[in-house]
Amino acid sequence: MTNKTRVALKLAYIGDQYHGFQIQQNAHAIESEIFAALEKNDVVDGIKEARYSSAARTDRGVHASGQIIAFDTGAGFGDSLPRIINHDLPDDIWAWAYAEVPSGFDARRDAVRRDYRYYLYDQGYNVPAMKESSRLFTGTHDFSNFARKIEGVVRTINRIEICERDGFIIIDVSAPSFLWNMVRRIAAALEQIGAGSQDSGWIKELLDPKRHPVHRGIKPAPAYGLVLRSVAFEGVEWIEDEYSKGRMRDAFVDVRIRHATMNAIYSGL
């Protein structure tokens, strides 16, 4: 048996061409691309053998700037690993930081905080009202009105902040862990506050399902507005790869310009 090093990688990706992060039958997942690049370069012999783990299972269409994966490798590529696998990853998935981690490191279990950002296109919302209502989410609550399931729905939000930038309302939410679609449902609820169709009392009721009738049916805001910004761990020292970051930014320019142009064309038609 060869000596293995346990490593973690930070990944950015644009989710709109994928059926979500997690590999699954008959679906084009971001993980399928990652596993293929790892196996092609003999970084791992097999995913299971490498004790692979990931920090978050982002949904279909959701993006990330700081998704984390971890695995054992005997390849000895060190901090050139991001560059090596980027060569075989598609243009919308990029590894951009590397860390050596303890043998027992698990990207999901050891994450102490996850930071999500929602980009809400500003259609003239009442932002002060949204900011005021957003404060109600911080702390520990029963989030069953912001989830699909009804058991195990208590979560603690450390921070929720709203700012306006370039025609968008940016909603930053940080928590040790989230329920499925939780950030998108919070964004949708805050949008209703901003649009004036609900008030802060409604948020208070939603967050108190034991005392108030359960308000089902907050439809999650669209996936394309959500980014997994970062995942925090204790004691992990990241080595950022400036070359990969630069190449990623270059690769993104054309697609970004296409989206900006399509927006202008729709506005002009």
Chain positions contacting a copy of itself, by CB under 8 A: 12, 14, 16, 63, 65, 117, 119, 121, 166-168, 222, 224-225, 227, 248, 252, 255-269
Of 202 and 252, which CB lies nearer to a copy of itself in the complex structure? 252
Q: How far is the CB of 123 from a copy of itself (least distance, A)?
A: 8
Q: Which is nearer to a copy of itself, 166 or 234 (by Cβ)? A: 166
Alpha carbon separation from 39 to 18, 33, 80 (Å, rounded): 20, 10, 16
For a copy of itself, the closer CB: 12 or 50:
12
Contact 79, 239 (CB under 8 A): yes
Q: Is the dihedral of CA 79, 93, 6, 68 positive or negative?
A: positive
Per residue, the 3-state secondary structure of the chain, as one string, reads CCCCEEEEEEEEECHHHCCCCCCCCCCCCHHHHHHHHHHHCCCCCCCCCCCCEECCCCCCCCEEEEEEEEEEECCCCHHHHHHHHHCCCCCCEEEEEEEECCCCCCCCCCCCEEEEEEEEECCCCCHHHHHHHHHHHCEEEECHHHCCCCCCCEEEECEEEEEEECCEEEEEEEECCCCCCHHHHHHHHHHHHHHCCCCHHHHHHHCCCCCCCCCCCCCCCCHHHEEEEEEECCCCCCEECHHHHHHHHHHHHHHHHHHHHHHHHHHHC
Which residue, 44 or 160, has its beta carbon nearer to a copy of itself?
160
Catalytic positions are 59
Q: Which two tokens stand for residue 34?
A: 């990652």
Minimum gap (Å) between residue 122 Cβ and a copy of itself: 10
Nearer to a copy of itself, 12 or 182 (CB): 12
Comparison of 49 and 250: residue with beta carbon closer to a copy of itself: 250
